[in-house]
Amino acid sequence: MITFDLRLKKLEQDIQHATSYAAFKEASLLHDELSGANEWKATDTSNDYDYKLIRKRVQRLQIARGKNDSHGLMSILHEGLHGNLGNIANPAMRTGCKIGTKVLIEQFIQEVDLALQHIYNADERHVDFYEKLSFFEETAHAFGRSCLMLSGGAGLGFFHCGVVKSLNEHQLLPTVISGASAGSIIAALVGTRTHEELLDSLRPESIYNAFKSWRQWQGLGKQSLFDSTVLENALIELFDLMTFEEAYKKTHRHITITVSPADLHQHSRLLNAKTSPNAIITQAVRASCAVPVVFSPVQLKAKAANGDILPYIPNRRFADGSLMADLPFERLARLYGVNHSIVSQTNPLAVPFIAASRIDATNLWDITARHIGQLAKTNSIFAIDIIERLTSNKNAKLAIHKVRSIIDQQYVGNINILPERQLRNLAQVLSNPTLESITTLIESGEKATWPQLDVIERNTKISENLRYYLSQLKLREAKELGHAS
C-alpha cells in the first residue's frame, strides 16, 4: 500500500474540506483506489473478522436462492443472523480504507437482502402468508434495530441538527431516537415533523429564529440564573400541545425525551409514546433542558381525553435529562429491541475523552490505559457514595447524587459522531447563538456524519428491510381482515 504520494495528500485535503457528501465520497473513493485500499477491500482474509464463516454463509445463501429454496433461505437466516455475525461490524474493518469495507462483507449484506426479498415474494402455495409473517416477526425481533441518541450540550446541541439533516437526506434516520437536554429539542423536531417538514425545520435560519435569545440573564437570588420565558415560548411555537402518542401517529418515529428528578429517591424517566403517551412534548423538552441553576425545574403536563391540560406526575418537578440519562441505551433496548446505537455526542463533559471509533485495545499501553480509566471511575463512584452517606443536608446530598450520576454514565455508542475539539466550542455552551454560529455547527454536524454514512447504511440495512417487509405483511393482513382504515 502506498504510504506517501502528493496525489494522496491532495485527496486528503479534498476530503477534509469537502462541501458536500458527493464531493467527500468521490475524493474518498479516489483515495482508496490510489492508496491500494481497494486491494485490501478485495482480499477476504483478515484477523479482525471470521471471513471463513461469512464466505460460507454467502455461498449457502446463493445456492439456496439459485434453487428457489425459500425454506432453505429461512433456515439459513434463522441459524444465526445478527448485526455482528462473524464480527463484521468490528470498527477495525474500515481502518484500511477511507470509505467502504471488505467486499465480502458487503456481498454478505447484499445476499441477506436478496434472501429477504425472495422470501417475501415467495409463491404462497409453497410458503403461506402466515409462515412469512411469522418468519419476519421472529427474525426482526431477534435481529434488533438501531437507535439514534442525541446527547446534552446546551448551545452545542445545534450540532445535532447537522447530524439529523445528513441522516434524513440519505434516508438513514433510525425510527428510534432519544434526546437529552439540548438533544431533546432536536429529537422532538424529528418526532413531530415529516421528512419534508424536517428539511425546513433544520435550516439554520429556522433554528436561529427560534432560539436566538434563549439565554436571558435573570440575576442572582432567583430560582435560576436565566429566565426561561423565551425558551418556553420557542418550544410552544415548535410543538404546541402535541403529545407523544399524537407525534407517533403522525411520523411513526419512536422519540424518547429523558428527564431527571429534582429530588432524591427518584430515578430518571424516559418519556415516550409507550411510557407516557399523553404527556405533552413541550413540557418534557423544557424539563430536559432545565440545567440545574441555569433554568428552574419543571412540572410536566399531560392532555386528558377531553383535551384538558392536567399535571403529569403531580408534586414532582424534573430537570436536565443528561444528568442521569444522557444516553439511555439499556432502557431503549428493553422498550424497542434496540441492540445498536448511533450517538451524536456534544456533552462538553464527555467529548474531550472519547473517540469516534470504538476499536478494541490491541496493545499493552491501550489495555493499561483502559484499565486505569475504569479503576478511576470505580474509585470515584466509591468515594462519592461515602461522601453522600456522610452528608445530612438534603440539597448537598442531591447535588452529590447528581455528580455521581454524571460520572457513572456511559457516553459512547457503537458509532459516535463528535464535533471537533475546539476551545471556542466552550464559549457557545451558554451563549446566545448567532446565525453564523448555528450555520457553522450544523455544517460541522453534517461533515462529522459523512464518514459514518456508509457504516450506518451497512449496519442498519438488514434491520430496516426486515421491518419494512414485516410492516407490508401486517398491512396486508389488516386489509384482508377488514381492519385497515
Q: Which residues contact residue 177 at a Cβ distance below 8 angstroms, ignoring those fewer than 6 apart?
A: 147, 148, 149, 150, 187, 190, 191, 253, 254, 255, 256
Q: Taking Cα atoms as reference points, which of 450, 441, 423 lies closest to residue 207?
A: 441
Cα separation, 433 vs 330, in Å, equals 33
Torsion from C-alpha of 356, 357, 360, 363, nearest 10 degrees: -70
Task: Please report where in the chains the cell 434524513 appears, as a residue.
Answer: 168
| Strand residue runs (E) in 99-238 | 145-150, 176-180, 216-217, 226-227
- The three three-digit cell numbers of residue 291, written as one number: 440545567
Grid coordinates representing 326 are: 444522557
Q: How many CB atoms lie within 10 A of CB 22?
A: 10
Q: Collapse the DSSP code of 217 into the 3-class scheme (helix H, G, I; strand E, B; otherwise coil) and give the result.
A: strand
Q: Are 408 and 340 in contact (CB under 8 A)?
A: no
First to last CA, the chain: 59
Residue 193 near residue 186 (C-beta atoms within 8 A): no
Catalytic residues, by residue number, are 181, 320
